[in-house]
A and B are shown apart, each in its own frame.
Chain A
Amino acid sequence: MSAGRLRFLSAIVLLFVLSSILMVSVFAVNDREAAVSIIGEAEQSVARAYEAVLDAEGVGANVSGLLVRLNAGAWLLSEASMAFEAGDFEEAIRFSELASEVGGEVLGEAEGLEVEARDAGVGRLRWSVVGSVLGVLVVVCVGLLGYRVFKRRYYRRLLKMRPRVG
Protein backbone atom coordinates (compact mmCIF):
# COMPACT_ATOMS: atom_id res chain seq x y z
CA MET A 1 0.00 0.00 0.00
CA SER A 2 1.37 3.41 -0.96
CA ALA A 3 2.04 6.11 1.63
CA GLY A 4 -0.56 8.36 0.02
CA ARG A 5 -3.31 5.77 0.26
CA LEU A 6 -2.32 4.99 3.84
CA ARG A 7 -2.56 8.67 4.76
CA PHE A 8 -5.92 8.91 3.05
CA LEU A 9 -7.19 5.83 4.89
CA SER A 10 -5.89 7.16 8.22
CA ALA A 11 -7.62 10.48 7.58
CA ILE A 12 -10.89 8.67 6.82
CA VAL A 13 -10.63 6.56 9.99
CA LEU A 14 -9.76 9.64 12.08
CA LEU A 15 -12.69 11.54 10.59
CA PHE A 16 -15.01 8.63 11.33
CA VAL A 17 -13.79 8.36 14.97
CA LEU A 18 -14.08 12.11 15.53
CA SER A 19 -17.56 12.30 14.04
CA SER A 20 -18.65 9.32 16.16
CA ILE A 21 -17.34 11.01 19.33
CA LEU A 22 -19.06 14.24 18.32
CA MET A 23 -22.33 12.44 17.60
CA VAL A 24 -22.20 10.57 20.92
CA SER A 25 -21.53 13.77 22.85
CA VAL A 26 -24.28 15.63 21.00
CA PHE A 27 -26.72 12.82 21.78
CA ALA A 28 -25.54 12.80 25.43
CA VAL A 29 -26.08 16.56 25.71
CA ASN A 30 -29.51 16.17 24.10
CA ASP A 31 -30.41 13.34 26.47
CA ARG A 32 -29.24 15.39 29.43
CA GLU A 33 -31.22 18.44 28.37
CA ALA A 34 -34.29 16.34 27.72
CA ALA A 35 -33.93 14.69 31.13
CA VAL A 36 -33.55 18.08 32.90
CA SER A 37 -36.65 19.38 31.18
CA ILE A 38 -38.77 16.27 31.84
CA ILE A 39 -37.67 16.04 35.49
CA GLY A 40 -38.58 19.73 35.89
CA GLU A 41 -42.03 19.06 34.45
CA ALA A 42 -42.50 16.06 36.73
CA GLU A 43 -41.44 18.16 39.77
CA GLN A 44 -44.04 20.76 38.83
CA SER A 45 -46.70 18.15 38.19
CA VAL A 46 -46.24 16.53 41.62
CA ALA A 47 -46.01 19.95 43.32
CA ARG A 48 -49.21 21.15 41.62
CA ALA A 49 -50.95 17.93 42.64
CA TYR A 50 -49.79 18.45 46.23
CA GLU A 51 -51.15 22.01 46.23
CA ALA A 52 -54.48 20.75 44.86
CA VAL A 53 -54.55 18.10 47.60
CA LEU A 54 -53.91 20.85 50.18
CA ASP A 55 -56.76 22.94 48.75
CA ALA A 56 -59.10 19.93 48.86
CA GLU A 57 -58.02 19.15 52.41
CA GLY A 58 -58.61 22.79 53.36
CA VAL A 59 -62.30 22.55 52.46
CA GLY A 60 -62.72 19.30 54.38
CA ALA A 61 -62.22 16.61 51.71
CA ASN A 62 -60.82 13.23 52.70
CA VAL A 63 -57.48 13.17 50.88
CA SER A 64 -55.86 10.12 52.49
CA GLY A 65 -56.17 8.02 49.29
CA LEU A 66 -54.72 10.81 47.17
CA LEU A 67 -51.77 11.19 49.54
CA VAL A 68 -50.95 7.49 49.16
CA ARG A 69 -50.91 7.83 45.37
CA LEU A 70 -49.00 11.07 45.43
CA ASN A 71 -46.42 9.37 47.66
CA ALA A 72 -45.88 6.88 44.86
CA GLY A 73 -45.42 9.79 42.44
CA ALA A 74 -42.94 11.45 44.79
CA TRP A 75 -40.99 8.17 45.05
CA LEU A 76 -40.80 7.99 41.24
CA LEU A 77 -39.54 11.56 41.19
CA SER A 78 -36.78 10.70 43.69
CA GLU A 79 -35.76 7.75 41.53
CA ALA A 80 -35.71 10.01 38.46
CA SER A 81 -33.61 12.59 40.22
CA MET A 82 -31.09 10.00 41.47
CA ALA A 83 -30.92 8.28 38.08
CA PHE A 84 -30.13 11.67 36.56
CA GLU A 85 -27.35 12.27 39.09
CA ALA A 86 -25.95 8.85 38.20
CA GLY A 87 -25.96 9.83 34.50
CA ASP A 88 -28.70 7.38 33.56
CA PHE A 89 -30.80 9.87 31.60
CA GLU A 90 -33.01 7.24 29.96
CA GLU A 91 -34.07 5.88 33.35
CA ALA A 92 -34.49 9.43 34.65
CA ILE A 93 -36.85 10.26 31.78
CA ARG A 94 -38.82 7.04 32.27
CA PHE A 95 -39.34 7.66 36.01
CA SER A 96 -40.14 11.35 35.43
CA GLU A 97 -42.82 10.53 32.89
CA LEU A 98 -44.43 8.08 35.30
CA ALA A 99 -44.26 10.68 38.10
CA SER A 100 -45.87 13.30 35.83
CA GLU A 101 -48.63 10.85 35.00
CA VAL A 102 -49.36 10.18 38.68
CA GLY A 103 -49.21 13.93 39.42
CA GLY A 104 -51.68 14.68 36.64
CA GLU A 105 -54.13 12.02 37.80
CA VAL A 106 -53.95 13.14 41.43
CA LEU A 107 -54.36 16.78 40.39
CA GLY A 108 -57.58 15.98 38.51
CA GLU A 109 -59.02 13.92 41.32
CA ALA A 110 -58.03 16.47 43.98
CA GLU A 111 -59.79 19.23 42.04
CA GLY A 112 -62.89 17.02 41.76
CA LEU A 113 -62.79 16.25 45.47
CA GLU A 114 -62.38 19.94 46.27
CA VAL A 115 -65.50 20.83 44.29
CA GLU A 116 -67.45 18.01 45.98
CA ALA A 117 -66.25 19.05 49.43
CA ARG A 118 -67.05 22.70 48.72
CA ASP A 119 -70.58 21.77 47.59
CA ALA A 120 -71.04 19.59 50.64
CA GLY A 121 -69.77 22.46 52.79
CA VAL A 122 -72.28 24.89 51.24
CA GLY A 123 -75.06 22.34 51.83
CA ARG A 124 -73.95 21.90 55.46
CA LEU A 125 -73.81 25.66 55.96
CA ARG A 126 -77.29 26.06 54.48
CA TRP A 127 -78.78 23.44 56.80
CA SER A 128 -76.88 24.87 59.76
CA VAL A 129 -78.23 28.36 59.06
CA VAL A 130 -81.79 27.02 58.68
CA GLY A 131 -81.41 25.02 61.90
CA SER A 132 -79.96 27.98 63.74
CA VAL A 133 -82.69 30.36 62.57
CA LEU A 134 -85.37 27.85 63.62
CA GLY A 135 -83.60 27.37 66.94
CA VAL A 136 -83.47 31.12 67.59
CA LEU A 137 -87.16 31.46 66.68
CA VAL A 138 -88.09 28.65 69.09
CA VAL A 139 -85.97 30.18 71.86
CA VAL A 140 -87.49 33.65 71.31
CA CYS A 141 -91.10 32.33 71.17
CA VAL A 142 -90.70 30.04 74.19
CA GLY A 143 -88.85 32.82 76.01
CA LEU A 144 -91.58 35.40 75.40
CA LEU A 145 -94.31 32.94 76.30
CA GLY A 146 -92.49 31.82 79.41
CA TYR A 147 -91.79 35.42 80.38
CA ARG A 148 -95.49 36.33 80.14
CA VAL A 149 -96.58 33.29 82.12
CA PHE A 150 -93.95 33.93 84.77
CA LYS A 151 -94.84 37.62 84.97
CA ARG A 152 -98.52 36.86 85.38
CA ARG A 153 -97.87 34.28 88.12
CA TYR A 154 -95.42 36.56 89.87
CA TYR A 155 -97.86 39.46 90.09
CA ARG A 156 -100.76 37.15 91.04
CA ARG A 157 -98.69 35.78 93.89
CA LEU A 158 -97.69 39.31 94.84
CA LEU A 159 -101.31 40.45 94.97
CA LYS A 160 -102.26 37.52 97.21
CA MET A 161 -99.67 38.57 99.76
CA ARG A 162 -100.93 40.45 102.73
CA PRO A 163 -98.89 42.96 104.61
CA ARG A 164 -97.75 41.75 107.99
CA VAL A 165 -98.53 43.96 110.84
CA GLY A 166 -95.97 43.57 113.49
Chain B
Amino acid sequence: MRFQDYRTLFQVACLGFVLLAVSPALSQVVSFPGGGERFSELWLLGSNHMAEDYPFNVRAGEDYSLFLGVGNHLGCSAYYLVYAKFRNQSQSLPNASSSGPSSLSSVYEFRFLVADGDVSETLVTFKILEASVQGNAVVVESVSVNDRAFQVGCSSTWDSDNNGFYFQLFFELWLYNTTGLTFQFHDRFVGIWLNMTG
Protein backbone atom coordinates (compact mmCIF):
# COMPACT_ATOMS: atom_id res chain seq x y z
CA MET B 1 0.00 0.00 0.00
CA ARG B 2 1.34 3.40 -0.96
CA PHE B 3 1.52 6.33 1.47
CA GLN B 4 -1.25 8.22 -0.43
CA ASP B 5 -3.57 5.28 0.17
CA TYR B 6 -2.83 5.35 3.90
CA ARG B 7 -3.44 9.08 3.94
CA THR B 8 -6.85 8.71 2.23
CA LEU B 9 -7.77 5.98 4.72
CA PHE B 10 -6.70 8.27 7.54
CA GLN B 11 -8.80 11.17 6.21
CA VAL B 12 -11.89 9.02 5.79
CA ALA B 13 -11.51 7.64 9.32
CA CYS B 14 -11.11 11.19 10.71
CA LEU B 15 -14.19 12.35 8.79
CA GLY B 16 -16.16 9.45 10.26
CA PHE B 17 -15.08 10.37 13.80
CA VAL B 18 -15.94 14.05 13.19
CA LEU B 19 -19.44 13.08 12.03
CA LEU B 20 -19.79 10.89 15.10
CA ALA B 21 -18.75 13.80 17.31
CA VAL B 22 -21.24 16.27 15.76
CA SER B 23 -24.16 13.81 15.63
CA PRO B 24 -25.62 14.79 19.07
CA ALA B 25 -25.83 18.45 18.03
CA LEU B 26 -27.14 17.54 14.57
CA SER B 27 -29.87 15.37 16.03
CA GLN B 28 -31.17 18.39 17.99
CA VAL B 29 -31.45 20.52 14.86
CA VAL B 30 -32.23 18.16 12.01
CA SER B 31 -35.47 16.21 12.26
CA PHE B 32 -35.94 13.10 10.20
CA PRO B 33 -39.42 12.10 9.05
CA GLY B 34 -40.79 9.24 11.13
CA GLY B 35 -41.20 6.02 9.28
CA GLY B 36 -44.44 4.12 8.83
CA GLU B 37 -47.92 4.91 7.69
CA ARG B 38 -50.05 7.51 9.53
CA PHE B 39 -53.52 6.19 10.31
CA SER B 40 -56.25 5.85 12.92
CA GLU B 41 -58.04 2.70 14.05
CA LEU B 42 -61.68 2.31 14.97
CA TRP B 43 -63.11 -0.97 16.26
CA LEU B 44 -66.01 -2.63 17.99
CA LEU B 45 -65.70 -5.60 20.32
CA GLY B 46 -68.40 -7.73 21.88
CA SER B 47 -69.39 -7.65 25.54
CA ASN B 48 -66.61 -10.16 26.37
CA HIS B 49 -64.04 -7.80 24.92
CA MET B 50 -63.50 -10.14 21.98
CA ALA B 51 -64.40 -9.94 18.30
CA GLU B 52 -67.38 -12.24 18.91
CA ASP B 53 -70.74 -12.27 20.74
CA TYR B 54 -71.89 -9.06 19.14
CA PRO B 55 -75.55 -8.27 19.84
CA PHE B 56 -77.64 -9.35 16.84
CA ASN B 57 -81.16 -10.52 17.74
CA VAL B 58 -82.41 -7.67 19.88
CA ARG B 59 -85.64 -6.97 21.77
CA ALA B 60 -87.07 -3.68 22.98
CA GLY B 61 -86.31 -2.87 26.60
CA GLU B 62 -83.16 -5.01 26.92
CA ASP B 63 -79.65 -3.69 27.45
CA TYR B 64 -76.85 -4.70 25.08
CA SER B 65 -73.20 -3.76 25.37
CA LEU B 66 -70.22 -3.31 23.13
CA PHE B 67 -66.71 -1.91 23.41
CA LEU B 68 -65.79 0.95 21.11
CA GLY B 69 -62.08 1.60 20.59
CA VAL B 70 -59.97 4.21 18.83
CA GLY B 71 -56.25 3.87 18.09
CA ASN B 72 -53.96 6.72 17.12
CA HIS B 73 -50.97 6.26 14.79
CA LEU B 74 -50.86 9.79 13.41
CA GLY B 75 -47.48 10.78 14.86
CA CYS B 76 -48.94 13.18 17.44
CA SER B 77 -51.80 13.30 19.94
CA ALA B 78 -55.20 13.36 18.27
CA TYR B 79 -58.63 14.70 19.24
CA TYR B 80 -61.33 12.35 17.97
CA LEU B 81 -65.10 12.61 17.90
CA VAL B 82 -67.17 9.47 17.31
CA TYR B 83 -70.83 9.80 16.34
CA ALA B 84 -73.15 6.85 17.00
CA LYS B 85 -75.94 6.70 14.40
CA PHE B 86 -78.91 4.42 13.91
CA ARG B 87 -80.33 3.49 10.49
CA ASN B 88 -82.41 1.01 8.57
CA GLN B 89 -81.19 -0.82 5.47
CA SER B 90 -82.13 1.97 3.07
CA GLN B 91 -80.83 4.98 5.00
CA SER B 92 -77.46 6.47 4.20
CA LEU B 93 -74.10 5.18 5.35
CA PRO B 94 -70.94 7.28 5.09
CA ASN B 95 -70.00 7.66 1.45
CA ALA B 96 -66.87 5.68 0.66
CA SER B 97 -66.20 7.40 -2.68
CA SER B 98 -66.60 11.01 -1.56
CA SER B 99 -65.34 10.46 2.01
CA GLY B 100 -68.53 12.07 3.31
CA PRO B 101 -70.27 11.18 6.56
CA SER B 102 -73.81 9.82 6.78
CA SER B 103 -76.45 12.53 6.68
CA LEU B 104 -78.31 10.99 9.64
CA SER B 105 -78.44 12.69 13.04
CA SER B 106 -76.31 11.16 15.74
CA VAL B 107 -77.83 9.38 18.72
CA TYR B 108 -74.73 9.77 20.86
CA GLU B 109 -71.24 11.21 20.67
CA PHE B 110 -67.93 10.24 22.21
CA ARG B 111 -64.82 12.39 22.36
CA PHE B 112 -61.35 10.96 22.87
CA LEU B 113 -57.94 12.55 23.16
CA VAL B 114 -55.44 9.83 22.34
CA ALA B 115 -51.65 10.05 22.52
CA ASP B 116 -49.65 8.86 19.54
CA GLY B 117 -49.32 5.07 19.54
CA ASP B 118 -52.00 4.76 22.21
CA VAL B 119 -55.58 3.52 22.19
CA SER B 120 -58.74 4.51 24.02
CA GLU B 121 -61.69 2.23 24.62
CA THR B 122 -65.11 2.79 26.12
CA LEU B 123 -68.15 0.69 26.99
CA VAL B 124 -71.26 1.39 24.94
CA THR B 125 -74.58 0.23 26.36
CA PHE B 126 -77.59 0.57 24.11
CA LYS B 127 -81.26 -0.28 24.31
CA ILE B 128 -84.23 -0.13 21.94
CA LEU B 129 -86.63 1.89 24.07
CA GLU B 130 -89.79 1.86 21.98
CA ALA B 131 -90.63 -0.24 18.95
CA SER B 132 -93.92 -1.12 17.30
CA VAL B 133 -95.19 -3.25 14.46
CA GLN B 134 -97.00 -1.31 11.74
CA GLY B 135 -98.22 -3.57 8.94
CA ASN B 136 -95.23 -5.46 7.61
CA ALA B 137 -92.72 -3.06 9.17
CA VAL B 138 -91.13 -2.63 12.55
CA VAL B 139 -90.73 0.98 13.65
CA VAL B 140 -88.10 1.83 16.23
CA GLU B 141 -89.29 5.04 17.83
CA SER B 142 -86.45 5.65 20.24
CA VAL B 143 -83.16 4.19 21.34
CA SER B 144 -80.87 4.92 24.24
CA VAL B 145 -77.11 4.86 24.26
CA ASN B 146 -75.37 4.97 27.63
CA ASP B 147 -78.74 5.84 29.21
CA ARG B 148 -79.30 8.84 27.00
CA ALA B 149 -82.55 8.52 25.02
CA PHE B 150 -82.93 9.70 21.45
CA GLN B 151 -85.92 9.70 19.07
CA VAL B 152 -85.08 7.95 15.79
CA GLY B 153 -88.42 7.04 14.19
CA CYS B 154 -86.78 4.49 11.96
CA SER B 155 -88.76 1.73 10.21
CA SER B 156 -87.65 -1.50 8.60
CA THR B 157 -89.67 -3.81 6.41
CA TRP B 158 -89.30 -7.61 6.48
CA ASP B 159 -86.13 -8.69 4.70
CA SER B 160 -87.15 -11.98 3.12
CA ASP B 161 -83.59 -12.77 1.94
CA ASN B 162 -82.17 -12.60 5.46
CA ASN B 163 -85.37 -13.28 7.42
CA GLY B 164 -85.51 -10.32 9.75
CA PHE B 165 -86.23 -6.66 10.40
CA TYR B 166 -82.79 -5.14 10.13
CA PHE B 167 -81.35 -1.99 11.64
CA GLN B 168 -77.77 -0.87 12.00
CA LEU B 169 -75.99 0.89 14.82
CA PHE B 170 -72.83 2.40 13.41
CA PHE B 171 -70.06 4.69 14.59
CA GLU B 172 -68.33 7.38 12.51
CA LEU B 173 -64.85 8.62 13.33
CA TRP B 174 -64.16 12.35 13.06
CA LEU B 175 -60.82 14.04 13.67
CA TYR B 176 -60.14 17.59 14.87
CA ASN B 177 -58.25 19.46 12.17
CA THR B 178 -55.96 22.10 13.66
CA THR B 179 -55.74 23.90 10.31
CA GLY B 180 -59.46 24.21 9.72
CA LEU B 181 -60.19 24.45 13.49
CA THR B 182 -63.07 22.02 13.14
CA PHE B 183 -63.84 18.31 13.21
CA GLN B 184 -63.70 16.52 9.88
CA PHE B 185 -64.97 13.07 8.97
CA HIS B 186 -61.94 10.78 9.13
CA ASP B 187 -63.28 8.29 6.59
CA ARG B 188 -63.73 5.43 9.01
CA PHE B 189 -66.83 3.80 10.40
CA VAL B 190 -67.83 0.51 12.00
CA GLY B 191 -71.23 -0.90 12.80
CA ILE B 192 -73.29 -3.89 13.76
CA TRP B 193 -76.50 -5.19 12.26
CA LEU B 194 -79.42 -5.67 14.62
CA ASN B 195 -82.41 -7.89 13.94
CA MET B 196 -85.50 -6.74 15.83
CA THR B 197 -87.14 -9.83 17.22
CA GLY B 198 -89.55 -8.47 19.79
Question: Contact residues of A with B, CB < 8 Å?
Answer: 47, 50-51, 53-54, 57-58, 63-64, 67, 70-71, 74-75, 77-78, 81-82, 85-86, 121, 124-125, 128-129, 131-132, 134-136, 138-140, 143, 146-147, 150-151, 154
Contacts and interface: CB of A to CB of B under 8 A. Distances in A.
A78 B18 CA distance: 55
Given A67-B115, A70-B113, A131 B24 contact: yes
A158 to B, nearest CB: 8
B115 A64 contact: yes
B10 interface: yes
A25 B24 CA distance: 68
B22 A132 contact: yes
Nearest to A124: B28
A124 B28 CA distance: 8
Q: Describe A's contact surface by its main secondary structure.
A: helix
Given A75-B111, A82-B109, A154-B3, A125 B28 contact: yes
Contacts, number: 91
B14 A74 contact: no
B148 interface: yes
A74 B18 contact: no
B25 A74 contact: no
30 contacts: A47-B79, A47-B176, A47-B181, A53-B77, A63-B115, A67-B77, A67-B115, A75-B111, A78-B110, A82-B108, A82-B109, A82-B148, A85-B150, A86-B150, A121-B28, A125-B28, A125-B29, A131-B24, A131-B25, A132-B26, A134-B21, A135-B18, A135-B20, A135-B22, A136-B22, A139-B14, A143-B14, A147-B10, A154-B3, A154-B6
- Most-contacted residue by chain B among A58, A139, A147 (CB, 10 A): A139
Contacts of A139: 14, 17-18, 21
Given A47-B176, A135-B21, A58 B28 contact: no
A143 B10 CA distance: 8
- 8 nearest interchain CB pairs? A135-B21, A74-B111, A132-B25, A128-B25, A143-B14, A128-B24, A139-B17, A132-B22
